[in-house]
Amino acid sequence: MLPKYTVEYVPPFARHSPIVHYSTDDPVACEQFVEELLGRNFHIKAIKHEGLDLPRQDFDRMIKTAAQTMASKCISTSLAIKQDEVKYRFGLAA
């Protein structure tokens, strides 16, 4: 049985790194993993849903959501404010 979500990525620390696969059935876990990859500057090759590449619009939405969540956490930590206040003041996801 195919996993619902698979992320294909390349670590940034070696020249000819192989493509690594991360799989999960949970869309939230997939989004959190993409957030980690963005924060560590990994190259995301593809995000697949049930073996097929996500349509560009869905791919972009997942990247955007992960980036907003990451930015929200950074602001919350840097300004020592709660996530609710970050959402109210900056309009980012809590």
For the chain, domain boundaries: 5-90
Q: What is the rounded distance in angstroms from the CA atom of residue 88 to the CA atom of residue 29?
A: 25
| CB contact at 8 A, 52 and 17 | no
pTM: 0.86
pLDDT values of the chain reduced to their tens digit, one per residue, 94 residues: 778 999 999 988 767 788 999 999 999 999 999 999 999 999 999 999 999 999 999 999 999 999 999 999 999 999 999 989 999 999 887 6
Phi-psi label, residue 41: left if phi above 0, alpha if psi -120 to 50, beta otherwise: left
Residue 10: φ, ψ to 5° = -125, 125
